[in-house]
Chain A
Amino acid sequence: MSQSINISDWVDQYADALYAYAISRVDDPDQAKDFVQDTFLAGIKSYDKFEGKSSVKTWLISILKRKIIDYYRQREARKTTPLSHFFRENGRKGHWVQDMAPKGNFAEDESEIENEELKMTLQSCLELLPGKWKGVVFDKLVDEKDSDEVCKEHEITPSNLWVIVHRAKLQLRECLEKKWFNA
């Protein structure tokens, strides 16, 4: 533990920069704050290994970057529902798995589209998607950006985009049906 760190000074000098970086990538204030705290903790612990080749701020941002990458890597693996969850792989191959068959009852609540609670429920379903999908879904399906633009921004091909939209909508539809329409 290095004695030369003044924690208050560090927070005053670097917390905003770290937070701004984190919030631009996770879109969740609480999660972003956790990242900032974890980054400071890691920085304090390994400060004696800091060689001063870059500024402290650049060094802390590089720690933060690694934390965000790890966080998304773990989430991606956990949050992708395989297609076999929705569609049969034997017998009537490619047909809806019985329990997953859409009930088609969303239309009954069409008048409630502006319902704030419904929106919050969908928002919570969106949070369950892998980070990369979430960004694509926001840009294409919420903000309705041009497809070429979305592909360029997220460095994906048009067929990647269709696959992500398909998989994300399958998961969102199931989530919303469970949490809202069947609740």
Chain B
Amino acid sequence: MSCRKASYIIEKRWVSKISLWEKLSLKFHLMICNLCRKYESDSKILGKILKSLNKHEHSSHLSKTDKDALKDALKISE
């Protein structure tokens, strides 16, 4: 198995079920590949940080200041 495939299965495993074959070949690859073990470790932490992000909720309206700025910008360019 290549590192490209191994990293793919590592990511697939976080979001979906993987087959027994994928599980075993990944396990074997990780036994012999130090870099992919590091990738797996980084990826796990990255996943945790992603989960800790809260999607920003933006207001769906423009403020009066925004609208005035918009009017000015449009009038200047007219």
Q: How far is the CB of A80 from chain B (nearest CB, A)?
A: 16
**A158 surroundings in chain B (CB, below 8 A):** 16
* A69 CB-CB contact with B under 8 Å: no
Q: How far is the CB of B27 from chain A (nearest CB, A)?
A: 18
Q: Bound state CA distance, A29 and B75, in angstroms?
A: 22
Q: When A15-B67, A86-B4 are in contact, do A7 and B78 touch as well, CB less than 8 Å?
A: yes
What's the dominant secondary structure at chain A's contact region? helix
Q: When A93-B2, A169-B43 are in contact, do A11 and B67 touch as well, CB less than 8 Å?
A: yes
Contact call B3/A87, Cβ cutoff below 8 A = yes
Contact call A7/B71, Cβ cutoff below 8 A = yes
Interface size on A, residues (CB 8 A): 63
Q: A interface vs B, CB < 8 Å?
A: 1, 7-8, 11-12, 15-16, 19-20, 23-24, 27, 29, 32-33, 36-37, 40-41, 44, 83, 86-87, 93-96, 101-107, 109-110, 113-114, 118-119, 122-123, 126, 137-138, 140-144, 147, 158, 161-163, 165-166, 169-170, 172-173, 176-177
